[in-house]
Amino acid sequence: MGIKTKIKIIIGKAYARKQHYDRQYLTGRWFTAENNFAGWDWVIKNAKNCRRAKVNIGCPWPVSSDSRAVGFCNIEFHPDDLNNFQHFGCYFQGKGKISIGKGTWIAPNVGIITANHSMEDLNKHDAAKPVIMGENCWIGMNSMILPGVELGPRTVVGAGSVVTKSFPDGYCVIAGNPAKVIKKLETEYEN
């Protein structure tokens, strides 16, 4: 390990302590030599930028200052999927539970919403409903996932889609507004 890498890790750990990042999120593939320690770069960059912009303060893992994580105590994901919080324009509204299955990829500008404004009083929110995504899903750019949606494993959400209902069986491509199944995927791969 080179001196630059060692310095990056030392600085990253100092920022992680200062930001009170939870150690459970500072593990996994992004903190290994194979991925060039990208996780420590995120820790350093996100800690500085979020503090400067006064966003995502108190979040127990690194989140880009260009995205928002609200109610982060209700957001569950595997540390290997920390990359989902590193790009621009995403909004994770965790008023209710958001569960992101392992291996799921979320593109930029995706909104995951667990509670909408009340139709009777826009100053209030309706009761929160969980959003659950299975393993190995792909959520395309500019998509919106609304309260109460469950996506089964290997669900691909086409770019710009608005997902208003659940697709719990998974293994499909959904797209449109409102999203509907446009293609079924094989549940097993043949070698």
Parse the chain into domains and list their residue ranges: 1-63, 66-185
User: Cβ contacts of residue 13 below 8 Å, gap of 6+?
Assistant: 40, 43
> What is residue 52's predicted lDDT score, i.e. its pLDDT?
94
What CATH class is the domain 66-185? mainly beta
Q: What is the pLDDT along the chain (191 residues), one digit of tens a residue?
A: 788 888 888 888 988 888 889 999 999 899 988 877 899 999 999 999 999 999 999 999 999 999 999 999 999 999 999 999 999 999 999 999 999 999 999 999 999 999 999 999 999 999 999 999 999 999 999 999 999 999 999 999 999 999 999 999 999 999 999 999 999 999 865 54
> What is residue 189's predicted lDDT score, i.e. its pLDDT?
54
pTM of the full predicted structure? 0.91
Assign residue 168 a region: left if phi > 0, alpha if psi is -120 to 50, beta otherwise?
A: alpha
How would you list the strands of the sheet with 155-157, edge to edge?
A: 105-106, 138-139, 155-157, 172-176, 179-184
User: Cβ contacts of residue 84 below 8 Å, gap of 6+?
Assistant: 77, 90, 100, 104, 105, 106
Q: Which residue has the tokens 């969980």?
A: 130
Q: Give catalytic residues, as residue numbers.
A: 117
The amino acid sitting at 105 is W
> What is residue 8's predicted lDDT score, i.e. its pLDDT?
84
Buried b (16+ CB within 10 A) or exposed e, 175-189: beeebeeeeeeeeee
How far apart, in whole angstroms, are the C-alpha atoms of residue 185 and residue 173?
7
